[in-house]
C-alpha cells in the first residue's frame, strides 16, 4: 500500500543552485539533497512534487513537498532523520500523512513571498544572507503607488523570464504590500502562482521607483508592454523567501 507524505520545509538557499535536481552530482540543489537522504531513510527514491520551484539563492520558511511512498516509516521518524542529517541548512518543520490525491503543487491555491531590503549604512553580518543590502534611501509611498496597478489578474510577461511556448504568464496577485520597519523595507506578495523571476522583477522595478529613477506611472506602461526588455532591474535572489503555501480557500 502506498500513502502520500507531506513535508513542510524551511531552508537557507544561499549555497544551493535552486530547488530543481540538475541530474549532476556536482550541482547542489535542494531537491537532490532531500531525495538523497529520503532514499536512505525510506529505502526507495521518491518522486517529489513541490509547491514552489525556488531559484538559486532563494530561501523558504514554508515550502511544501509531497510524494507517494510504500514505506511504513512514521512521519515523525522521517522528520527526525532528515533534520539530523540536514539541519540547520534544510529543516523539516512538519511531517504528516496527507489525504489520498494530495499534491503539493497541484493542490495549492496560493503562494506567499516576502522580499526584504536593508537600507542601513552598513550590512548586518547576521542577516546579510537573507536581505538585499543597499544603503540608498527608498521612498515607500511612491513604491506603493507604483505597486497598486499590479494587484489583480494580469499578464505579467514583462516581469517574467520567458516561460516557453504555450505557457501562460497570466497570474492573479491577491495582495501586494510594502512596509517600512526601521531600516528595512519589506515587500510581501501573495498570488495563485508566480512566473519564473516574477517577484524579483517586480521588486527590482519598485526599487527603481523608490530611488526616484522611475516614475510610478511607468509601471502601468511596463505591465501593458508585455515585453521583458522593459523591466529595468531584477532584485538579487538572497532577499527573497517563500513564506507559506496556501491550500483550500484563500
Grid cell at residue 105: 503543487
Which residue is it, cell 528595512?
Answer: 184
CA distance 90 to 85: 9
Instruction: Taking each helix axis as running N to C, give the angle between helix 218-225 and helix 198-210, from 0 to 180 degrees, rounded to the nearest 10.
Output: 150
At 42, which helix (H) or strand (E)?
Answer: helix 30-42
Which residue is it, cell 523570464?
Answer: 161
Q: Which value, to the nearest 10 degrees, does the dihedral of the CA atoms of residues 98, 104, 110, 114 take? A: 110
Active-site annotation holds for 12: no
Is residue 127 classed as helix, strand or coil in its secondary structure? coil
Q: Determine the longest span between alpha carbons in the chain, in angstroms.
A: 60
Polymer length of the chain: 250
Grid cell at residue 114: 516576502
Catalytic residue among 12, 15, 36, 55: 55
CA distance 89 to 242: 15
Q: Where are the beta strands (DSSP E) in 75-122?
A: 90-98, 108-118
What are the respective helix, strand and coil percentages of the chain, to the nearest 5?
30, 30, 40
Instruction: Taking each helix axis as running N to C, give the angle between helix 75-86 and helix 30-42, from 0 to 180 degrees, rounded to the nearest 10.
Output: 130
| Residues forming the active site | 55
Amino acid at each position: 500500500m502506498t500513502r502520500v507524505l507531506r513535508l513542510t520545509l524551511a531552508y537557507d538557499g544561499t549555497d544551493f543552485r535552486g530547488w530543481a535536481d540538475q541530474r549532476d552530482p556536482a550541482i547542489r540543489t535542494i531537491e537532490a539533497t532531500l531525495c538523497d537522504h529520503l532514499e536512505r531513510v525510506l529505502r526507495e527514491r521518491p518522486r517529489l512534487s513541490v509547491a514552489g520551484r525556488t531559484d538559486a539563492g532563494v530561501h523558504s520558511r514554508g515550502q511544501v513537498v509531497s510524494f507517494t511512498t510504500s514505506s511504513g516509516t512514521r512521519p515523525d521518524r522521517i522528520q527526525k532523520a532528515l533534520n539530523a542529517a540536514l539541519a540547520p541548512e534544510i529543516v523539516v518543520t512538519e511531517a504528516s500523512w496527507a489525504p489520498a490525491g494530495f499534491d503539493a503543487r497541484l493542490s495549492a491555491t496560493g503562494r506567499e513571498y516576502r522580499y526584504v531590503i536593508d537600507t542601513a549604512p552598513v550590512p548586518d553580518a547576521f542577516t546579510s544572507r537573507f536581505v538585499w543590502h543597499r544603503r540608498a534611501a527608498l521612498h515607500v509611498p511612491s513604491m506603493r503607488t507604483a505597486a497598486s496597478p499590479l494587484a489583480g489578474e494580469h499578464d505579467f510577461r514583462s516581469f517574467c523570464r520567458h516561460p516557453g511556448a504555450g505557457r501562460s504568464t497570466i497570474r492573479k496577485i491577491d495582495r501586494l504590500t510594502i512596509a517600512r520597519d526601521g531600516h528595512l523595507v519589506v515587500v510581501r506578495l501573495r498570488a495563485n502562482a508566480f512566473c519564473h523571476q516574477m517577484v524579483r522583477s517586480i521588486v527590482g522595478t519598485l526599487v527603481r521607483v523608490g530611488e526616484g529613477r522611475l516614475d510610478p506611472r511607468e509601471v502601468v506602461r511596463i505591465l501593458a508592454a508585455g515585453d521583458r526588455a522593459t523591466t529595468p532591474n531584477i532584485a538579487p535572489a538572497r532577499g527573497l523567501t517563500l513564506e507559506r503555501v496556501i491550500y483550500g480557500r484563500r
